[in-house]
Structure 1
Amino acid sequence: MPNGRVVFLDKVENYTQLKFGDGYYAYSAEYDPATNGVVPLAYKTNAFCSGGSFLANGTLVNVGGNAPLTWLDPTVGDGFKGIRYLTRSATNGALDGEDWVEPGNQLDTARWYASVQAMPDGTLFVASGSLNGLDPTVLTNNNPTYEILNPDGTTQGTSITMPLLSKAQPYYMYPFLHLLNDGTLFAFTSKSSELFDVGNSRTTKTLPDLPGDYRTYPNTGGSVLLPLSSTNAWQSSVLICGGAYQDITSPTDASCGLINPYATSPEWEMDAMPEGRGMVEGILLPDGTVLWVNGANLGAEGFNLATDPTMEVLIYDPEAPLGTRWTAGASTNIPRLYHSVALLLLDGSLMIAGSNPDQMPVVSPATDPQGFNTEFRVEVYTPPYLSGDNAARRATDVMISNTVLYANASPFTIAFTTQTSALAVKIALYHGGFVTHALHMSHRMLFLDFEGWEAGKAEQLITVKGPPNNNVAPPGPYVVYVVVDGVPSLGQFVTVA
């Protein structure tokens, strides 16, 4: 969030580590990575398996969810059509700790497992979901449609059938969505993908199916839009890795597909992770690499449907030749299975949390036949660019002239101090989005053009061009990192307008 804290949402359940004064459990929390402090946040409707994204003004919108569990908590209602809002300030703490706001407006149709993508005009594209959380092989349970939320976060009131989602049933929920620089969406579900013109509600290009297993819920792999810059004409490729079949004995898929959706005749370039993974998620880093974390070697998403956790961080370098792009990072000893998450923090480290593979929380592994309890610990992964003495090489005293960046290439300046031995700099503009079920909704990274860098100087003042348009950078909150010789500074929040 713009205040530097991390907000968690969870389902209504019979145990959390936080309670309100009325004795009921909290199902949302605001966490401060700097202090490890946490405060409970209240919501009015069940946010189980919801989606989300940010509005242009920085407000986080959370949509959809599941039925109420009034026998457990009568204070929380039906979340299937729920819309929840949370606002925080980057300049003062006046809003810290405030609860979710739910004024009563709702989605047009019920959505459990819906994906959300921020659009260039400040609207939100909300796609897919279940009408009732029941068997998706029974098509009357499904909602293979999309609707648009206005820039104020209210629905336009119409749900429109999306043929790609209809075709992919029952593997149509939580589709991968990426906004491209012409304003169209790359949309992927199951094994199929297309380019979709939202304004005209039509498919503009059908892409070949991705070889390998199913890739979207409940057989979830991960997907990222690789970093955008003027050197690739603000066009980039989409990478999709991992997947499985929906069975606890299912071996997971190691294959990855890379596709340039702008090509005249796009084809998938196939690669492979060092091991098969389901529930694996990709996180863009300020140095241009991609971290892949969490998940399992066997099974799929769902309660107690996965085993053989994958503990190792994998690092993908898109600039390396095919066949040499993957290296292994550190390992953990904490399984991160269903309902685990990962998020880049302002200091350039990665927060890894979650794993709730149980219908209701299991605190002691001895009570779970697989030994995978509900995980309340938060980990920090330190990428190689901050290991050893690297953190001491950060740029310091970073001063950005404007906290609002206009998406018309308008210039702004950044002053910073660096070591005189520094050789190169990049300016990363990052949007972390909303993270759940291995999806990073609205997630993107840009490298901005600049001039004025002088190698050998300690005190630097560079002039940076803002993003060229809102197709490349939809309006909302972003983080700027000054990356010197691959080492990011502490990030600072800005708004792209």
Structure 2
Amino acid sequence: MASTLIIFLLYLLVATQPCPLATANSTWAVLKESIGITAMHMQLLPNDRVVIYDRTDFGESNIRLADGKCREDPHDYVLKKDCTAHSVEYDVLTESIRPLMVQTDIWCSSGALMPDGSLIQTGGFNDGDHVVRVIKSCDTCDWKEIGSALVKRRWYSTNHILPGGRQIIIGGRRQYNYEFYPKMATSEKAYSLPFLVQTNDPKLENNLYPFVFLIPDGKLFVFANNRAILLDYSRNKVLKTYPEIPGGDPRNYPSTGSAVLLPMQMVQGTVPVVEVLVCGGAPKGSFVNAQNGKFDEALKTCGRIQVSDPDPKWVMESMPSPRVMGDMVLLPHGEVLIINGASKGTAGWEYGRNPVLNPVIYKPDNLLGDRFEVQSPSYIPRMYHSTALLLRDGRVLVGGSNPHIYYNFTNVLYPTELRLEAFSPAYNDMNCFRLRPSITADSQTQFRYGDRVVIRFRSVIDVDPESVFVTMVAPSFNTHSFSMNQRLLFLEGGDTTKAIGKEKYQVIVTAPPSANVAPGRYYMLFVVHRQLPSEGIWVKIS
């Protein structure tokens, strides 16, 4: 009897202790054996649906359009009439798939989630390169297409939502300029950006999908190939040229690395430190070598630069393994997941080798040399045309991989991949999950800049106010190893947490000060206690 009581008391002690994340495990789960298409592009909508699409010019996909619909396109290179879908919607909550109808070619395009929660997607290939497509966040919505809505053809471009609610569309194949959407007038033009000429090798076109980040002074940090600038887009003026990343190796398509704007901490209504992290890529000459059957080892290095420093310099560090075509995803508690990709070769048809199956966690606040942590591996190679994005429950949705011109499932190194899976970081470990805080329905979900925002949550363990943080994460548009519009903010006020009932707490935080810091739109908001994030809730700032 006494021993049973001791065991029970020990159980209670362990059950009420903070989760030991250092010993918790990350896990993988296959969600769908086939979604019918390969996930080349993904965007999470504020109704917990994920819009996924591939391209229209490879022939039939593995999922039929609904209600006997067919796409008829006289410009298509493969099929003039096609009754299969090349875009689908994945419902995270029900795990169901709904085929969507897209008419023109959306291959290697870009997009941004607008303030009203709709996805505006721009460009593509062939007859889709000047087209804008819109899909709203509703149960039955489908793509609406606006022909000739772009001034220039946009293929391999990068989009970013701006403080005023429009999006900027930068670069693309043989496009050394930028434009805006929606247009203020039908006569609105594109604006030349010589930086894209200066950083491009015309034989390789090696600065596609440039890395673009809005920083808190309202300017854009634009990284292409191995260099970066600070752009005042409103005046079409380069305000600063940053030093070349050490080594000078290319980091953009086809030497595809990835990049994130590191989490921003609010301090008295400002963001004193703004940093960008660029990881992976391929050495100079790798793309040509891959074309000739020689697959060079990918880059192992990451460069971190304090954009806000008057005299910024790159600080270099090394990942546990080389990686090209990796995706970088901001997690709710402020760490960075590096996932997908290969250790040899480059992006492009058949040019990657040796899949990297182990994701890596990057911990920005750790000391240099102690920031990377290797995670549990998947068994599914995620090569060229793979994707990854954060879900509201803290998992990371992973899809795609098709290094072939057409769908090819047999007699190839890396078959076309139609499976969708989820990576769960250590905070989703069974021993941690039950200890995560839970935001309650009486929390504030709409607010304005600078507002005091009341968030209420439950916790089965005693809450230490010094260990509480509230974060806001923007859902990103992911393709070709870059998550456009991705940003994470630590809001001020976590230490105001107080108990308001049994296992119930309240924290009052201050909303971001301006649209330069957080463009008006939907965000996922999380409460983090002892590095364990809650499930997020959708909030809207305007």
Tell me the TM-score normalized by structure 1: 0.90
1:212-223 correspondence runs (5 A): 212=247, 213-223=249-259
Alignment partner of 1:229 is 2:265: yes
Question: What is aligned with 1:43?
Answer: 102
Give secondary structure in 1 for the equivalent of 2:353: strand
Do the aligned partners of 2:439 and 2:537 also contact (CA within 8 Å) in 1? Answer: no
Question: What is aligned with 1:112?
Answer: 155
Q: 1:472 offset after TM fit, Å?
A: 0.5
Q: 1:56 offset after TM fit, Å?
A: 1.5
Distance 2:439 2:181 in 1: 39
Question: What is aligned with 2:124?
Answer: 65
Alignment partner of 1:265 is 2:311: yes
- Give structure 1 stretches of 5+ with no counterpart: 68-77, 89-94, 131-141
Do the aligned partners of 1:342 and 1:352 also contact (CA within 8 Å) in 2? Answer: yes
Q: 1:448 offset after TM fit, Å?
A: 0.8
Do the aligned partners of 1:240 and 1:256 also contact (CA within 8 Å) in 2? Answer: yes
Distance 1:430 1:46 in 2: 30
Alignment partner of 1:335 is 2:381: yes
Of residues 129, 133, 151 in structure 2, which corresponds to 1:84?
133
Question: What is aligned with 2:323?
Answer: 277
Distance 1:231 1:278 in 2: 35
Alignment partner of 1:207 is 2:251: no
Letter in 2 for 1:115: T
Question: What is aligned with 1:385?
Answer: 427
Do the aligned partners of 2:229 and 2:242 also contact (CA within 8 Å) in 1? Answer: yes
Q: 1:452 offset after TM fit, Å?
A: 3.2
Q: 1:354 offset after TM fit, Å?
A: 0.5
Letter in 2 for 1:190: N
Question: What is aligned with 2:299?
Answer: 253
Distance 2:64 2:540 in 1: 34
Q: 1:397 offset after TM fit, Å?
A: 4.7
1:95-106 correspondence runs (5 A): 95-106=138-149
Of residues 185, 191, 196 in structure 2, which corresponds to 1:160?
191
Give secondary structure in 1 for the equivalent of 2:244: coil
Do the aligned partners of 2:106 and 2:125 also contact (CA within 8 Å) in 1? Answer: yes
Alignment partner of 1:464 is 2:505: no
Question: What is aligned with 2:48?
Answer: 4
Larger Rg: 2
Question: What is aligned with 1:448?
Answer: 491
Do the aligned partners of 1:229 and 1:447 also contact (CA within 8 Å) in 2? Answer: yes
Do the aligned partners of 1:55 and 1:151 also contact (CA within 8 Å) in 2? Answer: no
Question: What is aligned with 2:345?
Answer: 299
Letter in 1 for 2:87: S
Distance 2:264 2:225 in 1: 26
Do the aligned partners of 2:221 and 2:230 also contact (CA within 8 Å) in 1? Answer: yes
Q: 1:411 to 1:253 in 2, by over 3 A?
A: same
Letter in 2 for 1:7: V
Letter in 2 for 1:461: Q
Q: 1:361 to 1:97 in 2, by over 3 A?
A: farther
Q: 1:334 offset after TM fit, Å?
A: 0.5
Q: 1:356 offset after TM fit, Å?
A: 1.0
Q: 1:38 to 1:201 in 2, by over 3 A?
A: same
Question: What is aligned with 1:30?
Answer: 89
Distance 1:79 1:339 in 2: 19
Greater CA drift, 397-406 or 51-60: 397-406
Question: What is aligned with 2:416?
Answer: 374
More helix by share: 2
Of residues 485, 488, 492 in structure 1, which corresponds to 2:530?
485
Distance 1:127 1:225 in 2: 17
Give secondary structure in 2 for the equivalent of 1:31: strand
Do the aligned partners of 1:358 and 1:374 also contact (CA within 8 Å) in 2? Answer: yes
Distance 2:371 2:140 in 1: 42
Q: 1:115 offset after TM fit, Å?
A: 0.1
Give secondary structure in 1 for the equivalent of 2:427: helix
The number of residue pairs the alignment matches comes to 464
Distance 1:354 1:103 in 2: 27
Letter in 2 for 1:25: T
Q: 1:348 to 1:163 in 2, by over 3 A?
A: same
Distance 2:486 2:140 in 1: 25
Q: 1:156 to 1:226 in 2, by over 3 A?
A: farther
Alignment partner of 1:18 is 2:63: yes
Do the aligned partners of 1:148 and 1:155 also contact (CA within 8 Å) in 2? Answer: no
Distance 1:396 1:155 in 2: 48
Give secondary structure in 1 for the equivalent of 2:433: helix
Of residues 283, 289, 302 in structure 1, which corresponds to 2:335?
289
Distance 2:444 2:148 in 1: 35
Alignment partner of 1:311 is 2:351: no
Greater CA drift, 378-387 or 391-400: 391-400
Distance 2:526 2:180 in 1: 31
Q: 1:419 offset after TM fit, Å?
A: 2.3
Of residues 226, 231, 247 in structure 2, which corresponds to 1:191?
226
Distance 2:146 2:122 in 1: 13
Q: 1:446 to 1:457 in 2, by over 3 A?
A: farther
Cα deviation, 1:339-395, whole Å, max 9, x if unaligned, reads: 10001111101111100111000123x2x2xx2111011111110111131110122
Greater CA drift, 416-425 or 381-390: 416-425
Q: 1:105 offset after TM fit, Å?
A: 4.9
- Give structure 2 stretches of 5+ with no counterpart: 1-44, 71-82
Distance 1:420 1:209 in 2: 48
Distance 1:200 1:397 in 2: 43
Q: 1:98 offset after TM fit, Å?
A: 2.0
Distance 1:42 1:419 in 2: 46
Question: What is aligned with 1:414?
Answer: 455
Tell me the TM-score normalized by structure 2: 0.83
Alignment partner of 1:148 is 2:150: no
Displaced runs of 4 or more, over 4 A: none
Q: 1:259 offset after TM fit, Å?
A: 0.2
Identity rate, percent: 34
- Superposition RMSD on alpha carbons, in Å? 1.8
Question: What is aligned with 1:92?
Answer: none
Do the aligned partners of 1:399 and 1:414 also contact (CA within 8 Å) in 2? Answer: no
1:389-404 correspondence runs (5 A): 389-399=431-441, 401-404=443-446
Higher relative CO (Cα under 8 Å, sequence separation at least 6) belongs to 2
Do the aligned partners of 1:220 and 1:301 also contact (CA within 8 Å) in 2? Answer: yes
Q: 1:156 to 1:128 in 2, by over 3 A?
A: farther
